């Protein structure tokens, strides 16, 4: 355990136990320096980490204070579906149902992807049961290699994840009723409540891909644990 970790842990414990309540002023840096017999840089690093984690707030001249929790946050990790399904102990299978150049009508429904583009649709299966229906549009100019890919054996998400450099993404979550076509693909009754996850991805301001993934409402647990400051 480093000195920094020790300082962090001591303060974190007092906050989580409720001993130091929101608004409580924690010791000044120079006091912690004296208490731990270390340099100020080490104390500063420890407090900086706690501040980044949202556990404390730091104010010049005033000191550092236990933060008031403001909003509940959850980190939603949208893993690669093959891995997600494999982690559940199921066999993964991808079934391509459509792959074609995007028409003007396709792109009219998109915001931000210009021709040429590729439309890919398919169903992710776990143990041969439909798990998620996916429709994706890929910008060819941004990802030229995609034009030569069939996406027959592996879903485009995995392919992209492995080779597309860093991204900025926006996510949306909604509940929708399964359309008849969707219901058929997913093997559920028409009108079943489904979770719809939508994602737009950019690189350097250029949109790379837009994907809509639809899960039967009961088949996808998006549970996230959040500890303020971990």
Contacts of 25 (CB under 8 A, 6+ apart): 62, 63, 64, 65
Question: Where in 42-71 is the site for DNA (CB under 7 A)?
Answer: 42, 44-45, 47-48, 51, 58-64
C-alpha closest to that of 191 among 211, 222, 217: 217
Residue 24 in the binding site for DNA (CB under 7 A): no
Q: Choose from DNA, a copy of itself, none: what does 115 bind? Cβ within 5-8 Å by kind.
A: none
DSSP-derived 3-state class of residue 28: coil
Question: Where in 24-63 is the site for a copy of itself (CB under 8 A)?
Answer: 41, 52, 55
C-alpha closest to that of 210 among 201, 218, 219, 223: 201
Residue 100 in the binding site for DNA (CB under 7 A): no
Residue 152 in the binding site for a copy of itself (CB under 8 A): no
| H helix intervals, 18-57 | 29-36, 40-52
Residue 149 in the binding site for a copy of itself (CB under 8 A): no
Contacts of 131 (CB under 8 A, 6+ apart): 81, 85, 123, 124, 125, 215, 219, 220
Q: Measured from the CB atom, is 100 or 171 closer to a copy of itself? A: 171
Q: Choose from a copy of itself, DNA, none: what does 222 bind? Cβ within 5-8 Å by kind.
A: a copy of itself
Q: Cα(36)–Cα(110) distance, rounded to whole angstroms? A: 58
Instruction: Name the site residues for a copy of itself (rule: CB under 8 A).
Output: 15-18, 21-22, 41, 52, 55, 66, 68-80, 161-162, 164-177, 191-196, 199, 201, 203-204, 215, 217-218, 220-229
């Amino acid at each position: 355990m480093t000195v920094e970790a020790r300082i962090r842990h001591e303060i974190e414990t007092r906050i989580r136990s409720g001993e130091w309540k929101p608004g409580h002023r924690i010791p000044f840096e120079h006091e912690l320096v004296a208490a731990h017999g270390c340099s100020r840089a080490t104390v500063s690093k420890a407090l900086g980490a706690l501040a980044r984690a949202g556990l404390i707030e730091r104010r010049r001249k005033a000191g550092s204070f236990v933060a008031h929790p403001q909003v509940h946050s959850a980190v939603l990790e949208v893993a690669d579906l093959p891995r997600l399904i494999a982690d559940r102990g199921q066999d993964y299978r991808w079934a391509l149902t459509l792959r074609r150049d995007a028409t003007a009508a396709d792109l009219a429904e998109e915001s931000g992807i210009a021709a040429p583009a590729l439309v890919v649709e398919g169903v992710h299966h776990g143990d041969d049961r439909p798990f998620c229906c996916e429709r994706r549009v890929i910008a060819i100019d941004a990802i030229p290699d995609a034009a030569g890919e069939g996406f027959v054996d592996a879903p485009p998400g995995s392919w992209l994840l492995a080779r597309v450099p860093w991204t900025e993404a926006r996510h949306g979550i909604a509940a929708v009723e399964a359309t008849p076509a969707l219901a058929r693909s997913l093997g559920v009754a028409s009108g079943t409540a489904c979770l719809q996850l939508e994602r737009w991805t950019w690189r350097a301001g250029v949109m790379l891909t837009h994907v809509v993934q639809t899960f039967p409402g009961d088949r996808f647990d998006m549970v996230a644990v959040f500890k303020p400051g971990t």
